Amino acid sequence: MKESVYKNYDEARGLGVSPSSGYELMHQPDFPVLRVGSSMVVPKEKYIQWMEEHTGGVI
């Protein structure tokens, strides 16, 4: 399995999402999140694809 380069909230901010907004997004029914034990992981490629679909391709 490919290891993600984003390990925590600080690194994820590089994607333009605050921790509170990220938390809200991860609880949306159609948001691509994987639950690993008690952790929630968002694959970067799936996040980018989701953003493109929900912004009309403009990110």
pLDDT tens digit string along 25-39?
888 899 999 988 988
Q: Does residue 17 sit within a domain? A: yes
User: What is residue 6's DSSP assignment?
Assistant: -
Does pLDDT of 58 surpass 70?
Answer: no
Instruction: Give the count of domains, the chain.
Output: 1
Q: Which pTM value belongs to this model?
A: 0.60
d(CA 37, CA 35): 6
pLDDT tens digit string along 40-51?
888 888 888 888
Q: Does residue 2 sit within a domain? A: no
pLDDT at 48: 84
Q: Does residue 1 sit within a domain? A: no
Domain holding 32, by residue range, is 9-54
pLDDT at 13: 59
Rounded to the nearest integer, the mean pLDDT of the chain is: 76
Q: Does residue 59 sit within a domain? A: no
